[in-house]
């Protein structure tokens, strides 16, 4: 499986963020996107996830010459957690499980992987910031998607949770997944490829 970005140029709010960006990664690769705030890290991830249209350029996922529909093969986790605060944690995960058409998923099991199993019946809204992020990361484990697109995945996590997440990412990469992460914190993994976006000089 191969993800290629060709000649990407993106604009936001009438400003060109980056132009002529090319990259390509295959199964088992980790791509990190770094750069100062406002350089277009999130926009690049949204473009890869198909939520934002680039002015020029295209993104493609292919396997053995066949182009695959991107959305069916990726998880997108933005800085927002995509969980309803008033519903219990288990209920939130069960909803995403059905939404992602996961065949065999167990909210308890994925919560255990992020060490949050005790919270399954608690409303999501009462959790602390770090705990919320852990539950949001558990969504990635509900259904297998080869490509993870993560925007500041470790923001708000303490050291223990960070190293826990490093293990989760390692496991994903070893089982021939791909990860694209925008971050300014070290992830504890060596990146195969790094894109550094420069700040816009005005």
Q: Which is nearer to another protein, 167 or 193 (CB)?
A: 193
* Tokens 């604009």 found at: 11
In three-state form (DSSP H/G/I as H, E/B as E, the rest C), the secondary structure along 85-110 is CCCEHHHHHHHHHHHCCCCCCCHHHH
Task: State in angstroms the smallest separation of the CB of 194 from another protein.
Answer: 5
Q: Which is nearer to another protein, 39 or 138 (CB)?
A: 39
Task: State in angstroms the smallest separation of the CB of 165 from another protein.
Answer: 18
Burial letters 36-63, b for 16+ CB under 10 A, else e: eeebbbbbbbbbbbeeeebeebebebee
Q: Which is nearer to another protein, 81 or 131 (CB)?
A: 81
Q: Which is nearer to another protein, 163 or 180 (CB)?
A: 180
CA dist 200 and 138 (Å) reads 35
CA dihedral 97, 119, 126, 78 (to 10 degrees): -40
Task: State in angstroms the smallest separation of the CB of 76 from another protein.
Answer: 6
Task: State in angstroms the smallest separation of the CB of 160 from another protein.
Answer: 24
**Binding interface with another protein (CB under 8 A):** 12-23, 39, 49-53, 55-56, 69-72, 74, 76, 78-87, 91, 95-96, 98-99, 193-202
């Amino acid at each position: 499986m191969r993800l290629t970005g060709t000649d990407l140029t993106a604009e936001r709010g009438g400003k060109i963020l980056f132009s002529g960006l090319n990259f390509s990664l295959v199964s088992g690769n980790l791509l990190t996107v770094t750069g100062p705030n406002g350089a277009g890290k999130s926009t690049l991830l949204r473009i890869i996830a198909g939520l934002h249209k680039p002015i020029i350029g295209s993104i493609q996922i292919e396997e053995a010459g066949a182009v695959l529909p991107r959305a069916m093969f990726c998880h997108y986790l933005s800085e927002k957690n995509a969980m309803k605060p008033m519903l219990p944690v288990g209920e939130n995960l069960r909803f995403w499980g059905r939404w992602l058409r996961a065949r065999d998923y167990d909210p308890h099991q994925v919560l255990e992987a992020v060490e949050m199993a005790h919270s399954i019946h608690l409303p999501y809204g009462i959790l602390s910031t770090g705990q919320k992020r852990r539950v949001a990361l558990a969504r990635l484990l509900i259904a297998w998607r080869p490509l993870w697109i993560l925007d500041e995945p470790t923001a708000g996590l303490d050291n223990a949770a960070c190293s826990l997440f490093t293990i989760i990412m390692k496991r994903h990469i070893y089982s021939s997944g791909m990860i694209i992460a925008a971050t300014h914190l070290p992830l504890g993994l060596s990146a195969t490829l790094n894109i550094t976006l420069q700040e816009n000089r005005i």
